[in-house]
Structure 1
Amino acid sequence: MTGTTSVKDLFTKNLRTSGIYIAFVVIVGLFAILTGGTSLSPMNVTNLVLQYSYILILAIGMVMVIIAGHIDLSVGSVVAVTGAVSAVLVIKYDMPWWVGVLAALGCGVLIGAWQGFWVAFVGIPAFITTLAGMLMFRGLTLLVLNNTSLSPFPEPYRNIAAGFQNGLLGGAGYDVFTLVVFALAVAGYFFSAWRTRRSQIAYEQPVVAFPLFILQLVLVAAVVMWFAWQLASARGLPNVLIILAVLIIAYSLVTTRTVFGRHVYAIGGNLAAAMLSGVKVKWVNFGVMLNMGILASVAGVVFSARSNAAQPAAGNMFELDAIAACFIGGAAVTGGVGRVTGAIVGGLIMAVMSNGMQLMGVPQSVQSVVKGLVLLLAVAFDVYNKRRAGAR
Structure 2
Amino acid sequence: MNTLTKTLRGNIRQYGMIIALAAIVILFQITTDGILLKPLNVSNLVVQNAQILILAIGMVLVIVARHIDLSVGSVAAFVGAVGAILMTKHDVPWMLAVILCLALGALIGAWHGFWVAYVGIPAFIVTLASMLLFRGLTLVVLEGATVGGLPEGFKDIGNGFLPEVGPDTGLHNLTLALGVILVAVLVVLDYRKRLASRRYNFDVLPLPLFLIKQGVIGAVIIEFAYLLADARGLPIVGLILFVLIGVYTFIMKRTIFGRHVYAIGGNVEAATMSGVNTKRVDFLVMMNMGMLAGLAGLVTTARLTAANPKAGVNFELDAIAAAFIGGAAVTGGVGTVIGAIIGGLVMGVLNNGMSLQGVSIDWQQAIKGLVLLAAVAFDVWNKKRTAGGGGAGAEAPQTTAPPPDELVDKLDDVDIPEPAVPRP
Structure 2 residues not aligned, in runs of 5+: 395-424
The whole-number CA distance in structure 1 between the counterparts of 2:235 and 2:6 is: 38
The whole-number CA distance in structure 1 between the counterparts of 2:333 and 2:167 is: 47
Match for 1:366 among 351, 363, 367?
A: 363
Match for 2:302 among 290, 293, 305?
A: 305
- What is the correspondence of 1:200-211 to structure 2 with a 5 Å cutoff? 200-211=197-208
CA contact (8 A) 1:175 1:232 kept: yes
Q: Does 2:93 align with 1:110? A: no
Aligned residues: 389
CA contact (8 A) 2:3 2:203 kept: no
For residue 296 of structure 1, what is the aligned residue in structure 2? Answer: 293
The whole-number CA distance in structure 2 between the counterparts of 1:148 and 1:136 is: 18
CA contact (8 A) 1:166 1:178 kept: no
Q: Deviations over 1:121-145 (max 9, x none)?
A: 0000000000001011111111111
How many angstroms does 1:5 deviate by?
4.9
CA contact (8 A) 2:260 2:281 kept: yes
Look up the equivalent residue of 1:377 and give its one-letter code: A
Match for 1:214 among 211, 215, 223?
A: 211
Q: Deviations over 1:309-366 (max 9, x none)?
A: 1011110000000000000000000000000000000000100000000011000000
Match for 2:173 among 171, 176, 179?
A: 176
Match of 1:39, SS? coil
Q: Deviations over 1:4-48 (max 9, x none)?
A: 754433433321121111111111111101101000000000000
Q: Does 2:32 align with 1:32? A: no
Look up the equivalent residue of 2:240 and give its one-letter code: I
Match of 1:164, SS? coil
CA contact (8 A) 1:325 1:344 kept: yes
The whole-number CA distance in structure 1 between the counterparts of 2:31 and 2:171 is: 27
The whole-number CA distance in structure 2 between the counterparts of 1:184 and 1:171 is: 20
How many angstroms does 1:381 deviate by?
0.2
The whole-number CA distance in structure 2 between the counterparts of 1:177 and 1:19 is: 33
Structure 1 residues not aligned, in runs of 5+: none
The whole-number CA distance in structure 2 between the counterparts of 1:7 and 1:259 is: 30
Match for 2:251 among 254, 261, 264?
A: 254
Q: TM-score by structure 1 length?
A: 0.97
Match for 2:268 among 261, 268, 271?
A: 271
How many angstroms does 1:94 deviate by?
2.5
Match for 1:41 among 29, 38, 43?
A: 38
- What is the correspondence of 1:61-76 to structure 2 with a 5 Å cutoff? 61-76=58-73
CA contact (8 A) 1:97 1:156 kept: yes
For residue 321 of structure 1, what is the aligned residue in structure 2? Answer: 318
CA RMSD in angstroms, aligned pairs only: 1.1
Q: Does 2:328 align with 1:343? A: no
How many angstroms does 1:279 deviate by?
0.6
Q: Does 2:189 align with 1:160? A: no
Larger of the two Rg values belongs to structure: 2
Relative to total residues, which structure has the larger helix share, 1 or 2?
1
CA contact (8 A) 2:43 2:228 kept: yes
Match for 1:191 among 188, 198, 204?
A: 188
The whole-number CA distance in structure 1 between the counterparts of 2:52 and 2:109 is: 18
CA contact (8 A) 1:10 1:18 kept: no
Q: Does 2:221 align with 1:224? A: yes
Report percent identity of matched pairs. Answer: 53
For residue 353 of structure 1, what is the aligned residue in structure 2? Answer: 350
For residue 16 of structure 1, what is the aligned residue in structure 2? Answer: 13
The whole-number CA distance in structure 2 between the counterparts of 1:286 and 1:170 is: 49
For residue 95 of structure 2, what is the aligned residue in structure 1? Answer: 98
For residue 420 of structure 2, what is the aligned residue in structure 1? Answer: none
Q: Deviations over 1:234-281 (max 9, x none)?
A: 001211111001100000010011111000000100011011101100
The whole-number CA distance in structure 2 between the counterparts of 1:325 and 1:378 is: 10
